[in-house]
Each structure stands twice: as structure tokens, then as C-alpha cells.
Structure 1
Amino acid sequence: MRVLFVAMPLIGHLFPMMPLAETLRERGHEVMLATGGDAATVVRARVPVADVAPPIDYLRAAVRGLGRHPVLAVRSGKGMADARGGAHVFAVTNRPMIEPLLRAAIEFRPQVIVHEPFASAAAIVADRLGVPTILHNIALDNGTVIRRELLALLTGTAVAPPASTLSIAPPSIVRVDGRPLRYTPYRTPGTDTPAFLREPSTRPRILVTRSTMLGDGPDTMLRAIVRAAPYVDADIVIVRPDRKTSRDTALPANIHTTGWIALHEALPHCTAMVNHAGAGSVYAALHAGVPQLATPAPGDRAWNAVSVQRRGAGLSVPARSITAAHLNTLISDPDSRANARAVAAEIAAMPSVNDIADELTHSVGTS
């Protein structure tokens, strides 16, 4: 069986699909990834990659996509996963993917194309080739709606619906249409998690992560955490600090910094997590059963943060507003801890990537 996986050139969009891609490859199927940018670079050593998309300048894409749509721009700015606004942004980056992706698909001759919602150029290519698609949700928003809105902007003709849809969302947080699929952490190739993070701590430990889309410029969230740290009885570990924090020689004694790590190796030994509300970080904490503080922001980040707070598995706090009181609550509230562990158990009970690989092999093999 030949399977083509398609994702935007963003690590956070590709990584949720990698466990299924690698499982199929390990079973002897031919697998190729079609993506670009950093996403292509970090997985190329493991799986064949077709580079079909340039790196995304998200700010420029947002300006181009939403510049003439002020109402959608406001909705997207609220961060509540507005599908129409997101479609206008990602249509900018999907359009130049269509022809390179078509050429790659013609050469690879896939029997099925698996794509994430924001890479719906894949549905257009699949329709041209008469190949079925599988929609692989990657976040807490509804990928079916995102795909529909994107295709409305990208093509004037009807496109065949996906043969099936996969959903990694825990139903107690948000119900998304599709066959449930257990979220499986993916380790970044070449990542080396320091030994102290793979071991229990004698004190509460808070892990802090930033967006992979941010550069090394000043980070509002980190400034707030550094300011609050002296009043928090916990070790605070900042992953991939910004330039200012990494060069600061007067950080509070309880703050430590590290480079890239495998979150799933460190989180089981942490008391709590602070993150930027990106879906990858949110899922990592939910999978580990660790309470989290997520900072709402444009795109889907407010939706993610609010969804976690509504479930009682953590807090939604604007980055600049984080205080010692928030961090102390995060590490001491038994209800948040219990709810986070309940979601982790819910995720563990969802069908595994092996189950879905079995179903995919059977359905494609008999079609």
C-alpha cells in the first residue's frame, strides 16, 4: 500500500500525523510525506519527503488573507478557532502547494492520501487523481469545517468528501466528528532530553514551553514567569528560552533553561506545565495528565486554552497577566490534577495508532 501524508510546513501540523505514518512504514507499506520548511527538515531522515511548500511567514499570510476581511480578522484575533478566518489565512499558503503536490503525487502514485485540515490542497490533488482521502484532525477544532471553508476558497468545483475522518480530540473536552484516534506523542529526531528532566524531582516542577513559530525576540509569557518565579515554591524549567532570557545572568535561582526536549519524557516528572496554547503542547500535557496554564492568543489558541479551563484541567491566563498566584494554584489545586489525570485516562482508552493502521490497511486493501 502506498500512502501519501500531506501537512503544512509547520512542525505542529505534521507531528500529530507522524505516529500513523511511521507505523505504516514499519509494517512495510510505502509512505511519503509532502510538506516543507522545518517540518520537512526534521523528519527527512526517517521518512521520504517531497518538499512541496516554502516555509510559512504566518504574519504575512495573515495580512494577505485577512487584509480585505476586517470582520474575519477580528474573529481570528480572538483566537477562538474561527474556521472562515483560518481558511483565508491558509488559502494563501495552500495555493502555491497545489501544483508541486500534484507532481509529487503523480510520481509517487498513492493509493490513499492522508491530510490535515489546513493542508486541504491535498483534497484537490486527490480528486484530480481519483484517489481517496483521509482527513486527520490535529487539534481541538473541527477539521471538517476548516476543510470545507478552505476548499470553498481554493476551488470552484465540488471535491469528493474524505473516505473517513480521524479525530484525536478527547470527547470530554470537545466533540469532533470522526473515528477516535489516541493522541500519540512524537519525538523530534535528534532531541536529547536532559537526564534531570527524565527523573522525579524533590520539589514541584513546572515546565514552560513556547511556540515553535516564534523567533528569539522578547517573549511576554517568559517575562511574566521570570517576574513571578521568586514567589513560587517550585523549580521552573523553560524550554527553548528567548534570547533575552537565555542571556540573563540574574535569573531567579529556581529558574532553569534547556533546549529542545521530548515533552513526553519530561512531563511525567513535572507537577504542571505552562504553554502558549498551541495544540501540540496542550495535547502533551493532557496525555501526561498534568495540569496546565495555557495563554490565549490569535488563531486557535484562545479556543484551546478556554477548552482546557472549561474541563477543569488547568487555567487560561493571558501571557502578560501570569502571576505567582496563578502558578501556585496550578501546582497545588487537587481538582485540576484529578481532572487532568481523568483526561489522560480518556485518551489512553481511545483506539491506538495500531488499531487505525489495521483499519486503513484493510479498507484500502479491499477497495
Structure 2
Amino acid sequence: MRVLFSAVPAYGHLLPLAPLIEAALADGHEVAVMTHEELRPAVTGELAPGVRMLPAGPSPMEFVGEAARRTGTDPLRPTPVAVGELFGATRLDLGAAESLDRARDWEPDAVVAESYDTIGPLIAATLGIPWHEAGIGPGRPAETVEMIEGTAARYYREAGLSPVAATSYLDPWPAALQDPDWSSEVPVLPMRGRAHRRPEGASAPQRGFTHPDRTGVLVTLGTIFSDPEVLTEFVTAVSHHPLNLRVTLGMALESGANAERADEVSDSGAEIHYVPFAPLEDLLTGTNLVVGAGGSGTVLGALCRGIPLVLCPQGADQPINAIRAEAAGVAVVVESPAEITGAIEKVLSDPSYAQRAQAVAAEIASRPAPGEVLRALLGEREPVA
């Protein structure tokens, strides 16, 4: 079969599809990824070899900027109405025509679209093929779904189309962190999540620490929220303890002056290594605690390894993820970087946080592997030779 994966042009939306893409290729299917050209490095470097890139749609700056113009809000800290406009009407207005042209040329048999993508479902409705929704975090709140579908509905009406419901929902999010009020209108297929990793042999080992027996902490704001001043505040708060720190620079900092931040040792003796973008799986090796903003990939990846967290949300879906992680007893959530120092002490001195994180890891590990889930959703048709 030809399976088209469609994602909003952002690492946090594309990379969660990697396990399914890898499984589809392993089963002999043809695979293409549709997202903006700017994500080509992620497609070629972070996904399994053999993926075809179908560049289409607006760039991240184009559709985020246009949504901000339409709503007058900060797209990184949006209201529900702005979320609907961002992922619904704006993205379809700017990218649907080009995306449909590329999809018609490639002729997919099925579409897998991540939860915030509206291009994939449109392609499925236009071509009359099934599509499946792939979760990238907790199930979307009903209000968010209504806002996105409401703004997208105008585009469907003008195109003379009717939206088509997903055939299934692929859920990698641990049950303990799911909103108890969330439900899906389509069948839910639980799936084993994992921290992002590169194809075999593509990752490089991280630098070692002078005192490898110390507690290891990963400090990360993710790929989007990489404000230099905020990152400095996080590092300052964490480095009050004599720990081994790996600090990710994020995508925004890598191209700026802060990309050259030098490793250092704090007054407390904390050894600080600054690292460019790398797969979370590599960064979690030797890590006992994650301090971050609370992106879905960071939270899920840490919990796959049974690692507790200290979270200081900055925007987007991070406040929701933080609330669910705190409710599950696997994280302490703070409102400002100044509170991180005390939160670290709390998590490291109370073994219940690590115990609960390990219980969540066991639940994740018990779920069906992505390959099993993929075979179930694609049915009995034989893969291509």
C-alpha cells in the first residue's frame, strides 16, 4: 500500500509519527510524508530511510503569522479561538490546493494524520480513502476539536466537500496522564510510545561528565520555546545543585549567538553541557530527572524511561500536559523558573515520583507496538513487495 503521513510543519508534530513510519516501511509499504519544505532535514535525518518527501503547504512562519494577523493573538500562547484559526482555516486556506495536487500525483491508499493536522483529513475526503488520526499528546479537549473543525468547515463548504471522520485514533499517551473526561468518537487503538530516536546508526553518543556517578538532569524547553533569557533562568535554577546537566539549545538558538554557549561549571559544582538538537532517546541516557517546559514529546519520552519531571510551562499544549503529569504524581509543576530549585529538591527527595514514573513506563511498555497497530488499521491487504 501507499501510506501518506501528514503533519503540521513542526518537529513536535512530525517526529511522533516516526515509529509508525518506521513500521510501515518495515512491512514493505510505500511511505510519503507531507509537510513544508523546511522540515526536509527532519524527514531525511530523523526518519527511517526510504521515506518520500512531498513538500506542500505554508511554512511555519507563514501560517502562524497569518493566524496571528487574523486573530490578533500570540500564536504560541493562543486562545481556543486562535487554535481553531491556526490549525483550521488558516492552514487550509494557505496550503490545501498545493497539498491536494501533490496527493493526487502520488495516489495514496490511506492517510495517517497527526491530531492537529487538517490537510491529511482533507486529502482523504477528496480522494475517498480512509484516514487515521495519530495522537501526539493527551486527547484534544472537546473545545479545541470544535474550534478547529468549526473553522475548517468553511473551507469544506466552499470546496463542495463533507468532512469524513477518522477510521481510528492511534493513542500513544499513557492512560494515567489522559484526561478522565476525554473520549473519542472513533475506535481508539492504544499504541506503545517512545522517546524520539534516529534510525539505527545515525545517532552520536553524548559527551561524558567528569563525575558520572552524580544525578543527571536534562534541561529542555523543546524545539520552539527556546528564549535565551528563559533558558538561562532554567539553568541558573537547576545549577544550584551539584548535578550533571545536559541543556538543549532548541531549534531557535542553534542559528543564533547562543549556539556557541560554552560548557561550564557552576559555583555549586554543577557540570553543564550545552547540546544542539539531538534525539530525546540519546539525551535521556544517564538522566534521572527532566526539567522542562512540558511539551508532549518531552513528557512522553521521559515517562517511557520512567523518569520524573519538573515542569514550568511556557505555552501551546504545555499547561495541559503539566496538569495531567502533576495529577498522575510524576511531576512537580511550577509557575516560574525561580521555583525550580525547590521543586528539584522535592522530586529527588521523595521516591514516590520516580516510583509512579516507573509504573507509567510499565503501562506504556505493555501496549501494542506500532507495527502491530499499523497492521490492524491497514487491514488484511498485502503490503507491496
Q: With the length of structure 2 as denominator, give the TM-score of the two structures.
A: 0.83
Is 2:178 aligned against 1:174?
yes
- The CA distance in 2 between the partners of 1:138 and 1:355, in whole Å, is 18
Residues 226-264 of structure 1, C-alpha deviations (whole Å, 9 max, x = no match)? 333453132222122754585468651412222233222
- Which of 210, 227, 235 is the matching residue for 2:236? 227
1:30 paired residue number: 30
Whether contact under 8 Å (2:197, 2:282) holds in the other structure is no
Residues 102-146 of structure 1, C-alpha deviations (whole Å, 9 max, x = no match)? 111111111111101221122122111111111111111328875
- Which of 87, 90, 110 is the matching residue for 2:87? 90
Residues 274-322 of structure 1, C-alpha deviations (whole Å, 9 max, x = no match)? 1121111111111111011122232211011111111110111134333
Summarize the Cα distance change of 1:18–1:332 in structure 2 as closer, same or farther, 3 Å threshold: same
Range moving further from structure 2, 230-239 or 183-192: 183-192
Whether contact under 8 Å (2:237, 2:338) holds in the other structure is no
2:224 maps to amino acid: M
User: What aligned pairs does 1:180-329 form with structure 2 within 5 A after superposition?
Assistant: 180-188=190-198, 190-196=202-208, 201-214=212-225, 217-220=227-230, 222-240=231-249, 242=253, 243-244=257-258, 246-247=260-261, 252=266, 253-254=269-270, 255-329=272-346
Summarize the Cα distance change of 1:19–1:323 in structure 2 as closer, same or farther, 3 Å threshold: closer
Is 2:58 aligned against 1:54?
yes
- The CA distance in 1 between the partners of 2:141 and 2:170, in whole Å, is 9
Q: CA RMSD in A?
A: 2.9
1:60 maps to amino acid: G
1:212 maps to amino acid: T
2:98 paired residue number: 100
Range moving further from structure 2, 145-154 or 115-124: 145-154
Whether contact under 8 Å (1:65, 1:90) holds in the other structure is no
- The CA distance in 2 between the partners of 1:143 and 1:25, in whole Å, is 32
The percentage of aligned residue pairs carrying the same residue is: 24
Q: CA deviation at 1:54?
A: 3.4
Residues 203-232 of structure 1, C-alpha deviations (whole Å, 9 max, x = no match)? 1111111221246x5231x22233334531
Q: With the length of structure 1 as denominator, give the TM-score of the two structures.
A: 0.86
Where 1:236 maps in the other structure, the secondary structure is: strand
- The CA distance in 2 between the partners of 1:202 and 1:360, in whole Å, is 45
- The CA distance in 2 between the partners of 1:144 and 1:130, in whole Å, is 26
- The CA distance in 2 between the partners of 1:138 and 1:84, in whole Å, is 21
1:338 maps to amino acid: Q
Where 2:377 maps in the other structure, the secondary structure is: helix
- The CA distance in 2 between the partners of 1:352 and 1:200, in whole Å, is 36
* Structure 1 residues without counterparts, runs of 5 or longer: none
Whether contact under 8 Å (1:118, 1:147) holds in the other structure is no
Whether contact under 8 Å (1:83, 1:149) holds in the other structure is yes
Count of residues in correspondence between the two structures: 355
Whether contact under 8 Å (1:56, 1:93) holds in the other structure is no
Summarize the Cα distance change of 1:324–1:148 in structure 2 as closer, same or farther, 3 Å threshold: closer
